[in-house]
Chain A
């Protein structure tokens, strides 16, 4: 069992390490990217703020809970913070498991809980420089 969580202000790499688990037939990779519209208005970027110390702890606790709840072998999560331009990755989650169904369930649950418990917030920076809170109801 491996759990890796990280919150970073650096761009998230698309390079994914090869799975070391030969008995794990399922690999799910999720990338959350910054959309170009917020409430129908074009934006240039999202700006993420986090509660330093608590966000890292809550992310790690959530990852541990996920591996206890679902039969998966590996969960890694990187959440980027700071200003993230449209199209770039804000969230990367990788889950390896024996079969696909537990991987799908674990991924869905993990991301839903992340959006409820991990103290990270985002604001949208509009083309004219205005900043508005960004919210997503699609938990």
Chain B
């Protein structure tokens, strides 16, 4: 099966846990957002305890979608603006 590359943006507590603001991750083509999250949590299991929202290409995800090569994914921990 062929592979594709995703760009993962990390902020706040997610950045603290991963140690970086951006990760390039290679996954199987056809991976959906739920599969991706499972794979990501295997790499960073502590993040499973955080109420994280996922955004793809700078929009909050409302449902499970199939990811595409080059998608920009952000794992958004609780925000604290204001």
Minimum distance in angstroms from B11 CB to a CB of chain A: 6
With A54-B58, A54-B59, A57-B58: A133-B12 Cβ-Cβ less than 8 Å: yes
Q: How many A-B residue pairs have CB under 8 A?
A: 64
Residues of chain B at interface, number, CB under 8 A: 16
In the complex, A53 has a CB within 8 A of chain B: yes
Output the nearest chain B residue to A138 by Cβ-Cβ distance: B82
Q: Give Cα A122–Cα B77 distance, bound, in whole angstroms.
A: 12
Q: Which residues of A (49-96) have their CB < 8 Å from a CB of B? A: 49-51, 53-55, 57-58, 79, 90-91
Query: B80 touching A51 by the CB < 8 A rule?
Result: no
Report B-chain residues with C-beta under 8 Å of the C-beta of A55: 81
Which of A12-20, A97-105, A110-118 lies at the interface with chain B? Answer: A110-118
Query: B77 touching A121 by the CB < 8 A rule?
Result: yes
A-B contact pairs, 12 of them (CB 8 A): A48-B81, A50-B81, A57-B58, A79-B82, A91-B81, A91-B82, A115-B81, A117-B79, A118-B79, A120-B79, A135-B80, A136-B82
The 10 closest A-B CB pairs, nearest first, are A120-B81, A54-B58, A121-B12, A53-B58, A115-B82, A118-B81, A122-B80, A121-B80, A91-B82, A32-B82
**A→B interface (CB under 8 Å):** 32, 48-51, 53-55, 57-58, 79, 90-91, 111, 114-123, 133-136
